[in-house]
Structure 1
Amino acid sequence: MSVYLVINIFIVLIPLLLSFEKNVLFYKKIRNVFISIFIVGIIFLIWDVIATGKGDWSFNPEYTGNIKIFGLPLEEILFFITVPYSILFIFESLTFYIKQKTFEFNRKYFLIAFLILFFAALLNTDKNYTSTVLFICSVLFLLSAFYDLKVYTSGISILTILISFIPFFIVNYILTSLPVVEYNHDAIIGSRILTIPVEDFFYSFAMISGWIIIYNLLKERQESKF
């Protein structure tokens, strides 16, 4: 069993075991969970395949298995299932146990965030990973400025993102310190927190936001039918 597979198992183990817990009843939301995982996962997996092919990052065969799909280790694809499953479990748990707090919507702040991230992406077009992840984050804030995505004004969504950064930091530290994942120096600006490229924090932020946005849209659509 590869190190990367073991990491995947540990990521999803507790949420999986608690999916039948009587209060949250996460297993009953599994349809929306997997639709969200699929939609966001397809986008990021396509990027992953392209970036791996271009050499922006690579996977150390010492820590991955022999099965590859479109140039990606099987464990990397599983990562796009185990991580969002766990994140959305956190989201639903917080939804049950914590009272929702909604922050005032202010389009100006979203547009400022969009402009900062967009121009930062333009300034780093020679760094593939840096520019791409900043551009994706800028698009999220631009959409949030004109559509009520209910992620950056929702206390539970914000708390989910913040809490998720704790296991993210631990897992990413393991992945980048062994390293399971190796980054091309030409694709990143080179700034790291311990061994984690700063781009990974934006990457995680974008993915978590995407999962919550899609999941919420599906949930609202389902509830509106009743």
Structure 2
Amino acid sequence: MSSFEYLLLMGACLLITLPLELLFSARVYRRWKVLIGALIPIVLVFSLWDIVAISREHWAYNPKFVTGVHLGNLPLEELVFFIVIPICALLSYEAVGTVLEFLAKKGKSRKRGNDGA
């Protein structure tokens, strides 16, 4: 396994969910101020959580599977995880909302079409 595997996985997560922005109008990347506002508390809380847990030796990261780049005692990969996974979740949430809204409108138009018959 490569020390970049975890970062590659995070990149793959972003690539896999990118079509949700483009095809399902998730509007996550287009509303970057809202996205940053949503990410800041997540990144701060979970980074602090990890920093404390690592310093207390509750958990550790195998050097074979991380790049060795750290912010304090927090591996870069963990910080990237705290950014990427919420973005993917927001993309999924917004895309599902778009699809449900479309289906609701489609159902209403069918209902109106049947009322006149």
CA distance in 2, matches of 1:36, 1:25: 14
> Which of these residues, 82, 87, 105, is aligned with residue 84 of structure 2?
82
> Alpha-carbon deviation of 1:17?
4.7
| Equivalent position amino acid for 1:78 in 2 | V
Q: 2:65 matched to which residue of 1?
A: 63
CA distance in 2, matches of 1:56, 1:18: 37
Bigger Cα Rg:
2
TM-score between both structures, scaled by the size of structure 2: 0.75
> Alpha-carbon deviation of 1:15?
2.1
4+ residue runs of structure 1 moved beyond 4 angstroms? none
Partner SS, residue 65 of structure 1: coil
TM-score between both structures, scaled by the size of structure 1: 0.41
| Equivalent position amino acid for 1:95 in 2 | G
Q: 1:125 matched to which residue of 2?
A: none
Q: 2:105 matched to which residue of 1?
A: none
Partner SS, residue 12 of structure 2: helix
Seen in structure 2, the aligned counterparts of structure 1 residues 18 and 90 have a Cα distance that, compared at 3 Å, is: closer
From the two aligned structures, give the one with the greater helix fraction. Answer: 2
Q: 1:93 matched to which residue of 2?
A: 95
* Count of aligned residue pairs for this structure pair: 99
CA distance in 2, matches of 1:44, 1:34: 15
Higher relative contact order (CA 8 A, sep 6+): 2
Partner SS, residue 68 of structure 2: coil
Give the alignment's Cα RMSD to 1 decimal: 1.7
> Which of these residues, 21, 35, 41, is aligned with residue 43 of structure 2?
41
> Alpha-carbon deviation of 1:84?
0.4
Q: Indicate conservation of the 8 Å contact 2:54/2:73, yes or no.
A: yes
Q: Indicate conservation of the 8 Å contact 2:27/2:94, yes or no.
A: no
